[in-house]
Amino acid sequence: MYLLEPTNANLMKTPFLVASVLAALAAGSLLAQESAPQPVPALPRFLPTRAAAAPMQAATPQAPQPLAPSVAAPELVYVDPATGLPVPTKVKRFDLDFPGGGPADFIRVVSEARGKPVNAIIPDDLADTRLPEMHLKQVTVPQLFEALEAASHKMMMYKTGSYFAVPNREVYDYSQQETTFGFRTKGPVNDDSIWTFHYEKPNLPPESAPARVVRFYQLGPYLDAYKFDDITTAIQTGWKMLGETSPPTMNFHKETKLLIAVGEPAQLQIIEEVLSQLATAPKPKTPSRLGSPRPTPQVQVPPLPPPAPAQ
């Protein structure tokens, strides 16, 4: 064995050899990776559809599974305003035939129909409210009261004031407001809920009696052609046809031929209209005064002279 002493030339060749060896190793690893087989990605697995799985199930019968007990769904769901969570409730259904009547009669019929009393409060001032006739099948108390309130909606006209557009003719101002009535409750709805009867309508002031006035009518120009009784009969006929239950009172003053009437201004308008029509009517050919016929003149025939004596 020979020992070589390191020289400057050998020292310069050493780094070059190391670099060549590293390059050869790197190239070999790349060729090994390219030649190695790549793994095939797994395809997605699809579950068979219900139609495709049917033959498989038919071929491999399975033991019947026990059915879960059915749970009846609640008929109503109440949302608690404090928590915002639904609160299921349970109410009974029944048939109802109500002929119409007051709120107390309605609650009595509903209690008998469902077989349990209904908790209801009816104010005294609303006890005379008229409820419509009802014939319903398989309803609950909340459904019944909701339908009643919906059917009671209507527009109400009421008088708010009046003014005189022309002399002796009064004109009225009117307003309208929606009215409704029914039963309401608060809290969760169940068979023990407490219902209160209400009636939403305008709060009108009590109507005061219309003012009564006195009027005077001169009948002198009319009595030459018509009887006093005929004139008053025409006036009273107009009041009767209007349905006046309290017509004005009339009195005739013979010395001045004045008709004195006391009543409401609208009622006394009939007298003015009758007299205005009589003024335009043609006068009869044989007028009478105060209704008495004129006397027929008597014609007196002088007696014949006695006959002359015979010759």
Place of tokens 């005061």: 208
Average pLDDT taken over every residue of the chain: 75
pTM: 0.42
The number of beta carbons lying within 10 Å of the beta carbon of residue 22 is 10
Please state the domain extents for the chain.
88-200, 213-280
What would the pLDDT profile of 260-290 be if each residue is shown by its tens digit? 999 888 888 889 889 988 888 776 655 555 4
CATH code: domain 213-280 is: 3.30.1370
Gap between the Cα atoms of 271 and 239, Å rounded: 10
Residue 123: phi and psi, rounded to 5, are -60, 150
Gap between the Cα atoms of 140 and 75, Å rounded: 9
Listed residue (167, 165, 171) closest to 272, CA to CA = 167
Greatest Cα pair distance in the chain? 238
Q: Which of 22-36, 46-60, 161-175 comes out lowest in average pLDDT?
A: 46-60
Angle at 262 (CA atoms; ends 256, 268), nearest 5 degrees: 95
Output the pLDDT for position 266: 81
List the 258-263 sheet strands across, edge first.
Answer: 213-218, 258-263, 249-253
Output the pLDDT for position 268: 87
Output the pLDDT for position 94: 94
Give the DSSP H or E segment for 64: none
